[in-house]
Structure 1
Amino acid sequence: MKKTALPTMLSFCTPGLREQIEALPEGTALIGLSTTGQAIAVDLTGGCPHVLVCTASGGGSTTLLRSLTAQFLHQGAHALVLDSKRISHLWARGLPTVTHRGNVAGIHDALVGLGDEMARRLTLTDTELDAAPRLIVSMDSAPSALRQLTRYWETFRGKDDPRMSPAVSALEAALYTGRAIRVHVILDGTPSSSVLGVAPHEMFGTVILARVTTTTWQRLAPLAGPAPKPSRLSGRSHVIRENEAHETQAIWMTDADVVTWLTDPDDHDS
């Protein structure tokens, strides 16, 4: 298939792009455009219940998490935004259907609460579950956050308590059972399988890689062919789906774009 030149930036304000995003079916979010002109999207209802994002510094992982989470929120989902850096997702603060947590205690409690919510959803009938809002768990800097959660649990774990942090256990459970109960994880980073107990490429239907090393590519996309030469262009990534790599220019959505869109969806002038 013939390749086309990608734009150096794909802004949310690009004419026609917002309308294209808003026309997507519920549970689908646009990542960006590929070199073949194809719209590259995530479909949570299909073969991609969870998304893994892994980039080197400056590769756009925070922007990707923000863009994908915002699109699902616009469709009526609720979100748990876990921001261990505390400043990467300030857009999420104050939005009515978003729980934003930054410090380790808050992230711990939020994930324990997620475990309770998943247990509740498992008791719902199909009709009740269909009426429940989709729940997005968006975790930035996951390796660091998971290490913090593990250390935090060790500070007060009793001798009869489980060895693994209940917060980490809840996240692991979401990866295994989320599809069935409309809970989906968007994870930034490459957490060790010794922490979550799973191999990353086995649990995520879509993997987005940018500026990664050959070793990281082989670990996260072992069947997608050799690692491509990293691009220095902002927002340029490779989206791995069904073991195929699609070079993609990701959507750029600023904090202001997201807040305005979610709080005043009829405003088309921003």
Structure 2
Amino acid sequence: MTKTALPTMLSFSAPDLREQIEALPEGTALIGISTDGRAIAVDLDADCPHVLVCTSTGGGSTTVLRSLTAQFLHQGAHALVLDPRRISHLWARGLPTVTHRGNVAGIHDALVGLGEEMTRRLDLTDTELDAAPRLIVSMDSANSTLRQLTRYWETFRDKDDPRMSPAVTALEAALWTGRAARVHVILDGTPATSILGAAPHEMFGTVVLARVTASTWQRLAPLAGPAPKQSPRAGRGHVIQHDEVHETQAIWMTDADVVTWLTDPDDTHI
């Protein structure tokens, strides 16, 4: 494979990049450009219904979640953005097709509502489902959030209630049957099998890893071979699809880029 010299930052405002993104078919979003010059994208309707992103601090996981979620919103999807830090996805506040939740109680209630929406959608006819907007569940800091949800449920669970948090149950249902309901999860973290009940590589068709340890690589991408050398460059990571590994420079979209694009899509001066 011949490597291509990529820019240190692949900005959404770069020449022709926005046009390339807007030309993608519905349900497809660009992650970035690989070092062999290929566009690396997620196709939610093919065999990649969910996306897992895992990076070390400063590795760009929030940027990838923001970029992918924004692209699907631009195509007409709705989104549930779970932002436990409350400041990582400020762009999502106030947008009409986005539900933004930060505190654990709000995240719990939003996921329980997701479970109810999943049940409703699974009862729709194919024609009714096709008319429903695609729903993106974007969860930042999933590891700590899932632990918080579990502890939160224990504070008021009655003895006859299920032991597992209904919020976690709803997220698990979205991962296993979301494709049939046009519900897709973009998750940041390394979800424990003890909580979600399956190995990450069984639930996510696309995995994005950056600046991770060899042990984390083996856990999240066990079929992709040994961990390659990790790049210190911001936004540079590896995308694993079909057990193929693509070193990729991810798109950089700022909060302002996203808000302007989604509220004034005809603005060409992002």
Q: Residues 195-234 of structure 1: CA distance to partner in whole angstroms, max 9, x if unpaired?
A: 1111101110000000000000001111111111111100
Match of 2:61 in 1: 61
What is the TM-score with the length of structure 2 in the denominator? 0.99
Can you list the C-alpha shifts for 1:37-64, whole angstroms capped at 9, x where unaligned?
0000000000000000000000000000
Q: Note the C-alpha offset of 1:6.
A: 1.6
Counterpart of 1:9?
Answer: 9
Partner of 1:228: 228
- Residue in structure 1 matched with residue 189 of structure 2 by the alignment: 189
- For residues 241 and 2 of structure 1, the distance between their equivalents in structure 2, rounded to whole angstroms, comes to 19
Q: Which residue of 2 aligns with 1:46?
A: 46
How does 1:1-270 map onto structure 2 within 5 Å? 1-270=1-270
Unaligned runs of 5+ in 2: none
Q: In the aligned structure 2, how far is the partner of 1:269 from the partner of 1:241?
A: 33
CA separation in 2, counterparts of 1:223 and 1:38?
22
Query: How far did residue 7 of structure 1 move?
Result: 1.3
How far apart in 2 are the matches of 1:86 and 1:50?
23
Distance 1:6 1:253 in 2: 17
RMSD of aligned residue pairs (Cα, Å): 0.5
Instruction: Determine helix, strand or coil for the equivalent of 1:13.
Output: coil
Q: 1:31, CA displacement in angstroms?
A: 0.2
Q: How many residues are treated as equivalent by the alignment?
A: 270
Distance between the aligned counterparts of 2:202 and 2:112, measured in 1?
Answer: 24
SS in 1 for 2:228: coil
Q: How big is the shift at 1:3?
A: 1.6
Cα deviations by residue, 1:226-256 (Å, 9 ceiling, x for unpaired): 1111111000010000111100000000000
SS in 2 for 1:177: helix
Q: For 2:220 and 2:6, how far apart are their aligned partners in 1?
A: 24
* Larger mean Cα displacement after TM superposition, 167-176 or 220-229: 220-229
SS of corresponding position for 2:153: helix
Q: TM-score, normalised by structure 1?
A: 0.99
TM-aligned CA deviation for residue 2 of structure 1:
1.7
CA distance in 2, matches of 1:198, 1:86: 28
* C-alpha separation in 2, matches of 1:111 and 1:22: 30
Q: Give 1:19 deviation, angstroms.
A: 0.4
